[in-house]
Amino acid sequence: MTKEHRPDLKSAQVKKSEASISPSMASMPLDVKLSPDGKTIVRVKGISRGALVRSAPQVTLSRKRSHDEARVVYFDTALNEPYRSLGKGKKYLIYTWGCQMNVHDTETMAGILELMGFVPTEDEKGADLILFNTCAIRENAEDKVYGELGRLKALKQEKPGLILGMAGCMAQEEGVVARILKSYPHVDLVFGTHNIHRLPVLIHEALMSKEMVVEVWNMEGEIVEHLPKARQGGIKAWVNIAYGCDEFCTYCIVPYTRGGERSRAPEEILSELRDLARQGYKEVTLLGQNVNAYGKDFKTRMYTFADLLKDVHALPIPWVRFTTSHPRDFDSRAVDVLARGGNLLEHIHLPVQSGSDRVLKAMNRKYTREHYLELVAEMRSKIKDVSFTTDIIVGFPGETEEDFDQTLTLVETVRYDGAFTFIYSPREGTPAAKMDDTTPMSVKKARLAKLNEVLARITYERQQTLLGRTVEVLVEGVSKKDETVLTGRTRANKIVHFYGPSSLIGQFAEVRIEDAKTWTLYGKLIRARDVALAGR
């Protein structure tokens, strides 16, 4: 794995092809000029403000993949001036949409900002910098972001010195930058998922420039290690083990917004985990768009997700989870390691998306219904008390009633403990967005309601099996509805409420379940523990 000492913060590593104007931007009434220093200045006709475009997203470039192993560089936390004191006396606020990966990216942004001297605030009017870390997985998430950007226009007019920025997966979409240029000229900064480490430079440019600053890399760059993190709570932490996705499911925008699969070196992951253990964190979730593909991109070593789990199993982290898994890449070696129990928890989030082979093929999921059910059966036979949750899409283009019925029968067979269910949302630039979709929305909504009804019944039945049992709970805090009630999660990721002293927050407790609702368990505290039980 190629290594260098530090990333070059002063220059964006952008190919000439990336600096060109995307088709979405080219269709707009633009004036495009080069400044004397070679920077591209884009101005939408009729709008007074221009944009300094270092690079803008293009779908054709986002599809490309490098066959080389990712280059590793190290972030220099000893920031030089002017970046180190740029935020002195200033406050920042970050709004986050989307998955755990986005939440963890926000922790990285916050860590960099605090290294620059910024301090956090929850008061919009008191903020000097507001960032939107966005999600592109569904249209309604994007609509919320646009609504919030529009809402903050008045604050920007009231406080011209405020820096307003968009980051995350939305920024990686080709049409988004064009829309921001045209309809949201009060935005000062747009950057994507591949260049978060350049935040100090981008903020400096946004402060010094009269133009909007746009830098969105189309292809993934290096893996940047030693990035600062501003983690919250001190109980649970997220740790990236890999970035990107090469599955290219036909409905999914993630391979375009997150780039190709790149695995972190196991030495870096294990070192970060040991550090979190020393800090007293009780639970860590290993993150990746497809954790089961971890290590496939290594060229100079044979080291897989199963190998990583084996090494993690020996660390003094009490609880370890991981997400998200892909059924095609979940092999028997990984199942065998998980069967050892201990700090490797028995909750598996295993997205199925559909129970129909015909729909799975149209989705390019690369596995069959039979393969999925065989994998579930193997896990149930090897992992004691294993708990499954999943993701399911209804109303995918061409889905028939027969296809939907096959999803229902699969749900009945697996008997999930929970599921995230969605009506298909077309994403611009994905193959599925071009497929004929003649199913009325009313039918899709009816299917979703029926699916959720079946899932709720099964979840309730699964919850009832825990009545009278004593479960181990990691206490996370107090209930939102009653501050005298503690709340936490079991090894199987089930929510438990019970009465107990607030001193238990951040500790483990044994709780006997006395009542079970569909989504929540209620119990009685038996005893508190400083350390987790040994596991299965």
Among residues 215, 249, 266, the one where a domain terminates is 215
Residues 354 and 293 in one domain: yes
Residue 355 CA, chain-centre distance (Å), reads: 25
Two structure tokens written together for 235: 């109980």
Residue 384, pLDDT > 90, answer yes
- pLDDT (mean) for 89-117: 96
Give the type of residue at 467: L
Confidence of residue 60 (pLDDT cuts 50, 70, 90): confident
Residues 374 and 493 in one domain: no
Residues 480 and 510 in one domain: yes
Among residues 186, 215, 244, the one where a domain terminates is 215
Provide the β-strand partners of residue 164: 130
Residue 511, pLDDT > 70, answer yes
Phi, psi of 514 (to 5 degrees): -115, -15
- Look at residue 15 in the predicted model and tell me its pLDDT: 40
pLDDT-wise least confident of 85-94, 141-150, 210-219: 210-219
Asked if 100 contacts 287 with a C-beta cutoff of 8 angstroms, the reply is yes
Residue 346, pLDDT > 90, answer yes
CA–CA separation, 224 vs 72, rounded Å? 6
- 133 lies in a domain? yes
Of the chain, the percentage scoring pLDDT greater than 70 comes to: 90
Residues 123 and 139 in one domain: yes
* CB atoms closer than 10 angstroms to residue 299: 10
- Look at residue 119 in the predicted model and tell me its pLDDT: 98
**How far is the CA of 488 from the CAs of 151, 179, 283, 503, in angstroms?**
35, 42, 12, 13
DSSP readout, 70-89? PPEEE--SSPPTTTTTTTTT
Over residues 3-47, the pLDDT tens digits come to 455 555 544 444 433 445 566 655 655 565 545 445 556 665 556
- Look at residue 341 in the predicted model and tell me its pLDDT: 97
Residues 135 and 157 in one domain: yes
- pLDDT (mean) for 244-252: 96
- Residue set of the binding site: 99, 135, 169, 245, 249, 252
Residues 193 and 71 in one domain: yes
DSSP readout, 280-308? T--EEEEE-TTGGGTTTT-SS----HHHH
Residues 254 and 353 in one domain: yes
Residues 6+ apart with CB under 8 A from 394: 404, 407, 421, 422, 423, 424, 444, 447, 448, 451
- pLDDT (mean) for 350-367: 98
CATH of the domain at 259: 3.80.30.20
Over residues 150-199, the pLDDT tens digits come to 999 999 999 999 999 999 999 999 889 888 988 999 999 999 999 999 99
Over residues 405-459, the pLDDT tens digits come to 999 999 999 999 999 999 999 998 999 999 999 999 999 999 999 999 999 999 9
3-state secondary structure of 30: strand
Confidence of residue 69 (pLDDT cuts 50, 70, 90): confident
Asked if 171 contacts 178 with a C-beta cutoff of 8 angstroms, the reply is no
- Look at residue 497 in the predicted model and tell me its pLDDT: 98
Residues 236 and 209 in one domain: no
- 84 lies in a domain? yes
Q: CA geometry: angle at 197 spanning 194 and 200, to 5°?
A: 130
Helices (H), 9-68: 16-19, 23-26, 59-62
CA–CA separation, 18 vs 15, rounded Å? 5
Domain count, the chain: 3
- 48 lies in a domain? yes
CATH of the domain at 136: 3.40.50.2300
- Look at residue 12 in the predicted model and tell me its pLDDT: 43
DSSP readout, 421-481? EEE----TTSGGGGS---S-HHHHHHHHHHHHHHHHHHHHHHHHTTTT-EEEEEEEEE-SS
207: buried, middle or exposed (CB in 10 Å: 19+, 13-18, 0-12)?
middle
Sheet containing 236-240: order of strands: 236-240, 283-287, 319-323
* CB atoms closer than 10 angstroms to residue 165: 23
- Look at residue 41 in the predicted model and tell me its pLDDT: 61
Over residues 254-304, the pLDDT tens digits come to 999 999 999 999 999 999 999 999 999 999 999 999 999 999 999 999 999
Residue 358 belongs to domain spanning: 223-389+412-418
- Look at residue 267 in the predicted model and tell me its pLDDT: 98
In SS3 terms, 486-529 reads as EEEEECCCCEEEEECCHHHCCCEEEEEEEEECCCEEEEEEEEEE
Residues 205 and 251 in one domain: no
Residue 245 CA, chain-centre distance (Å), reads: 12
Residues 199 and 305 in one domain: no
Over residues 196-209, the pLDDT tens digits come to 999 999 999 999 88
With residue 377 as reference, give the H or E element that holds it: helix 369-382
DSSP secondary structure code for residue 317 in this structure: -
Helices (H), 288-367: 305-313, 332-338, 357-362
Residue 479, pLDDT > 60, answer yes
- 126 lies in a domain? yes
pLDDT-wise least confident of 12-26, 37-51, 305-319, 466-480: 12-26
Residues 475 and 503 in one domain: yes
Residues 175 and 248 in one domain: no
- 445 lies in a domain? no
- 518 lies in a domain? yes
Pick the closest to residue 189 from 230, 149, 243, 141 (CA basis).
Answer: 149
Position with higher pLDDT, 106 vs 531: 106
Asked if 344 contacts 338 with a C-beta cutoff of 8 angstroms, the reply is yes
- Look at residue 169 in the predicted model and tell me its pLDDT: 95
- pLDDT (mean) for 134-147: 92
Q: What's the mean pLDDT when you consider all of the chain?
A: 91
CA–CA separation, 257 vs 231, rounded Å? 24
Sole residue written with tokens 């990686």: 172
Residues 6+ apart with CB under 8 A from 267: none
Phi, psi of 298 (to 5 degrees): -65, 135
Pick the closest to residue 31 from 18, 15, 47, 55 (CA basis).
Answer: 47
- 449 lies in a domain? no
- Residue set of the binding site for [4Fe-4S] cluster: 99, 135, 169, 245, 249, 252
Q: What's the alpha-carbon Rg for the chain, to the nearest Å? A: 24
